[in-house]
């Protein structure tokens, strides 16, 4: 069977992590740095590689805000539950 080629009209994202979220993130991750054990689990699970662990710094979990989607996976996977999601723009 011959497969038809997909033809897209207009711009499409081919790499999810390359999409600059800018204005559409609804929530963002916040870290309790006192409780963080710098295990790197959040970094491993982030689907867009937006987390960097800086073990030598007090604020040891850094987020690339241009790419963080606010998905909450890092908060779900943190073994110390020290990442909480907060609404963009304050409490709702």
Residues at the contact surface with ligand SF4, assessed by CB under 6 A? 29, 31, 36-42, 46, 48, 50-51, 53, 61, 63, 68-74, 78, 80, 82-83
Q: How far is the CB of 91 from ligand SF4 (least distance, A)?
A: 18
Minimum separation from the CB atom of position 9 to ligand SF4 (A) = 29
* Closer residue to ligand SF4, CB minimum distance, 39 or 88: 39
User: How far is it, in rounded angstroms, from Cα 26 to Cα 2?
Assistant: 42
Determine which helix (DSSP H) or strand (DSSP E) holds 53, and give its type and residue range.
Answer: strand 51-53
Beta bridge partners of residue 27, listed in sequence order = 87
| Six-digit token string for 49 | 């590689």
């Amino acid at each position: 069977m011959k497969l038809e080629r997909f033809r897209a009209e207009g711009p499409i994202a081919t790499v999810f992590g390359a999409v600059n979220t800018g204005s559409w993130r609804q929530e963002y991750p916040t870290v309790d740095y006192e409780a963080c054990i710098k295990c790197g689990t959040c970094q491993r699970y982030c689907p867009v590689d937006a987390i960097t662990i800086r073990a030598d710094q007090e604020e040891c979990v850094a987020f690339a805000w241009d790419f963080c989607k606010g998905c909450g996976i890092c908060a779900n996977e943190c073994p110390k539950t020290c990442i909480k999601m907060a609404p963009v723009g304050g409490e709702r």
